[in-house]
Amino acid sequence: MAFGNLKDIFKGSMSIISYETGGEIEKNKLLNENIPKNQMIQNLIKLARHGTPLFKIGDDNPKIMIIAGLHGNELPPQIASLWLIDELMGYKIKGTLYMIPFAIPHATMENSRRFKGIDMNRIASKGGYVSNNIVKTIKMLNMDAVADFHSTKPKSNPGRESVFCSKNPSYKSFEIAEYITKATSSESIGYDDAGTLYTGALEDECNLAGIPAVTCEVVSENGEIDEGSPQRSYLQMIAYLKYFKLI
């Protein structure tokens, strides 16, 4: 992946940060039935055919990022991210929000957890993978914080609505999680040190690099949309924005 010059990348509000991941989002009929149909969203879907899209709203500090779809079959946060883009269009936020609504469009198209047979949220520490490209982009853009949104099937790990965080080396990860959980009645799942549970998670790689990050989970069967799950993911996103006073 060649990042190029930031001024060239962000002449517009959309760009591609990883070209090997492209997919036809609209072929995921369940997702397609639940997203806005305005021109901006359709442009994002068209862009996703070529790779991982990055969408930018605002042009000030703080700079934060929302990511969805690192597991392509976790549909609620991908839907919620598009609802949020739709809601924020024309709204002047107090900072800059970068959004990756489908981290791996091909996996979303296939309604698959994995991409090329690999769970990309276990390999963000290794170069050459899309999750690592996302981490490189986060570092390059000097993000103030990152929130990675997922859904978890019932009776799995964690199997409940929650926010993962850690205290070291980025204590703000814990503070962000506490704010979101209080605002949404989610559960905080915290660790003393980033990377305690397993290696290669995008959240942990950001925290280890000194960029505060959390992982937000809502409950929904894999590849499906449990009733109310996109709304719950949307509320977590809104709480995250409110923590940084972007809205």
What pLDDT score was predicted for residue 197? 83
What pLDDT score was predicted for residue 202? 98
What pLDDT score was predicted for residue 4? 36
Q: Which fold has domain 13-243?
A: Aminopeptidase (3.40.630)
DSSP H or E segment with residue 6: helix 6-9
What pLDDT score was predicted for residue 5? 38
Instruction: Give yes or no for a contact between 99 and 106, defined as CB atoms under 8 angstroms apart.
Output: no
Spatial CA neighbour of 211 closest among 138, 155, 120, 153: 138
What pLDDT score was predicted for residue 90? 80
Longest dimension (CA), the chain: 46
Residue pLDDT, tens place only, 134-188: 999 999 999 999 999 999 999 999 999 999 999 999 999 999 999 999 999 999 9
Distance CA(127)–CA(201), nearest Å, equals 13
DSSP H or E segment with residue 18: strand 14-18
- What is the SS3 assignment for 204? helix
| Residues of the chain where predicted confidence (pLDDT) is lower than 70 | 1-12
Lookup: tokens for 25? 């989002």
What pLDDT score was predicted for residue 10? 40
Measure CA 57 to chain center. Answer: 15
Instruction: Give yes or no for a contact between 72 and 116, defined as CB atoms under 8 angstroms apart.
Output: no
**Residues 6+ away with beta carbon under 8 Å from 75:** 28, 30, 31, 34, 108, 111, 151, 220, 223, 224, 225, 230
Spatial CA neighbour of 82 closest among 51, 115, 113, 43: 43
Instruction: Give yes or no for a contact between 69 and 103, defined as CB atoms under 8 angstroms apart.
Output: yes
Residue pLDDT, tens place only, 148-158: 999 999 999 99
Length of the chain: 247
Spatial CA neighbour of 82 closest among 33, 16, 142, 49: 33
What pLDDT score was predicted for residue 109? 98
